Structure 1
Amino acid sequence: MREVLAHLTAGAGLNAARWLAGVIRCRFDFDKQVAMRLAEQLGATPTVAPERFRHIVPSTTKPPLPAVAMLGETIVHAEDIRRPLGMRRDYPIETVTQVADYYRGSDLVVLAKGRIGGLELLATDGPFAAGSGPLVSGTSLALVMAMTGRTTYCDDLEGDGVELLRSRCPIA
């Protein structure tokens, strides 16, 4: 969970210039840049990442990505922390729907568009619907989390397409 906090902290501390400098430094290897920024924020002791996160919470700085991408990062990684701890959070359905709409049409930041190709997604708690093919239905949050590759959220989904989606999810 420290790694997730460090990742969120890194994103909230990157402006466009700093992001671009890191991309160039890592020779346009985006995964390498994420790993580099993660290492910067983790710190040497277990208390460093949570302290840095608390400090950066009010930041409005972000990499040159759409605001909805950063919103998605925040929701998804918050759930990465909450679910293992048994903590639940209700998000405004309009917000989760906006993130789901963004992910369904994008492979920027998260490879969601390709992951859900050939499937019909239908939210049971809001207006989100996308695609065609075998059905995958569930809460908007469970759909977003599965779209981002979280296998455990497939347990919260129903329909003929769930197992195909599960097979495309690399993150437990």
Structure 2
Amino acid sequence: MEDVWSMVHAERAALIDDLVHLDAERWDEPSLCGEWTVHDVVAHLVDTARTTRLGFVVGLARARFDFDRQNARGVERERGASPQETLERLRRVASRTSTPPAPLDSRLVEEVVHGEDIRRPLGLTRSYPAEAVVRSLRLQTRTPTSFGGAKELVARVRLTAADADVSIGDGPDVSGTALSLLLAVSGRKVALDDLDGPGVGTLAVAL
């Protein structure tokens, strides 16, 4: 089993390579992550790469225990005056191994899901390592919805990966690639178009 940090570092490096020649105006395009732009998501990845366990707790307290407020402050703090400045910040933290108080596989979820939040709107593609995607999917389906996961959702549908030995949940089947399943259970509705099966409607309503 590949070391988690090796996979995280590889994903950060791959994203940097994808963005290094991106025209500055394209950094303002909407991402798949709420109201954030591509630039905002990159800034968020810088922030999460810097975050330590203690720093997370202190930051959350300062944000009055509002995760969205804490994330917004992190984006504001790490977003550079230009895309290249933000990209350089990401390059400087790409090899870090600090983490908030969460399962280590959550670092893979951050890199893979936010990687797609950035790449898909830009028309970029990446062939992610299967282990990184599957571990991310398994963690998301074990994580409660209140923490950004899909534990309650998979009590109503069964997720079946067409490209990996993964079948999770109980209910009408939803099938697709592990990456599309991961994006869907992470709240990215655009991935629903990539899925098949009688459970897709149930999944769509839940999102």
Alpha-carbon distance in structure 2 between the residues aligned to 1:98 and 1:45: 34
Name the residue aligned to 1:23. 60
The amino acid that maps onto 1:22 is: G
Q: Is the 2:141–2:149 Cα contact (8 Å) retained in structure 1?
A: no
Name the residue aligned to 1:154. 192
Name the residue aligned to 2:21. none
TM-score by length of 1: 0.91
Task: Note if 1:13 corresponds to 2:50.
Answer: yes
Name the residue aligned to 2:20. none
* 1:126 CA drift (Å): 0.4
TM-score by length of 2: 0.76
Alpha-carbon distance in structure 2 between the residues aligned to 1:49 and 1:112: 31
Name the residue aligned to 1:84. 121
SS of 2:105's partner is helix
SS of 2:175's partner is strand
**Count of aligned pairs:** 169
- Correspondence for 1:50 among 80, 87, 106: 87
Name the residue aligned to 1:139. 177
* 1:121 CA drift (Å): 0.7
Farther off after superposition, 17-26 or 118-127: 17-26
Once superposed, which parts of structure 1, at least 4 consecutive aligned residues long, lie more than 4 Å away? none
The amino acid that maps onto 1:158 is: D
Q: Is the 1:96–1:140 Cα contact (8 Å) retained in structure 2?
A: yes
Name the residue aligned to 2:96. 59
Shift of the 49–114 alpha-carbon distance from structure 1 to 2, 3 Å rule, reads: farther
Identity of matched residues, %: 38
Runs of 5+ unmatched residues, structure 1: none
Alpha-carbon distance in structure 2 between the residues aligned to 1:127 and 1:24: 41
Alpha-carbon distance in structure 2 between the residues aligned to 1:73 and 1:19: 15
Alpha-carbon distance in structure 1 between the residues aligned to 2:132 and 2:56: 26
The amino acid that maps onto 1:74 is: E
Task: Note if 1:100 corresponds to 2:137.
Answer: yes
Runs of 5+ unmatched residues, structure 2: 1-37
The amino acid that maps onto 1:153 is: A
- Aligned residues: CA RMSD: 1.6
Q: Is the 1:100–1:128 Cα contact (8 Å) retained in structure 2?
A: no
